[in-house]
Structure 1
Amino acid sequence: MNDTSQHKGYACCFCGLPIDPDPPDVATLTYATCLGQAKHLQHEQEFYCHTVCLESKLHPQAKIYAAFLATNPSSETEDTADDE
């Protein structure tokens, strides 16, 4: 048994290493099947990952804006203030 299998927290679905709970991590991915089909055919599974691992797997045009907001919370509050 290796160290990652004994880890009690989250493990990355890409690298298998533990994920420290420091922003922007812990990140989750939701995999859903049969979208557009009847509800009883649809299934979901949640995976955990490091943001940097996910970014390394995505096409360069696929940007993770949530990661930016998690590490720059003042950006989100500024946007909210403009809405009021």
Structure 2
Amino acid sequence: MSLIENFVKHLRLEDKSENTICNYRLAVKEYFSWFEGTFDKHPRSLYIQNVKDYLQYLQVIKNEVPKRLTLNFRLFRNIMNF
């Protein structure tokens, strides 16, 4: 199983809503897309510095709203603690 699949299984065991799971899954896919575009390879795992760079990219380049930044921050914090 992939990191995403294992994490989704974990979220379901924690009784998270399907909306939360869907939002987290989408955010991870967007991170993977950014990573592949930036480093020209698929991420094998999450590294704190890459996540920080991605969150900065969302804030500075994409001008994401605070709610979206908070969602991404929580997602990556939860995955790192998983």
TM range (shorter): under 0.3
Higher relative contact order structure (alpha carbons within 8 Å, sequence separation ≥ 6): 2
Hey, which of these two has a bigger chunk of helix by percent? Answer: 2
Could you tell me the TM-score, scaled by structure 1's length?
0.24
Q: Whose radius of gyration is greater, 1 or 2?
A: 1
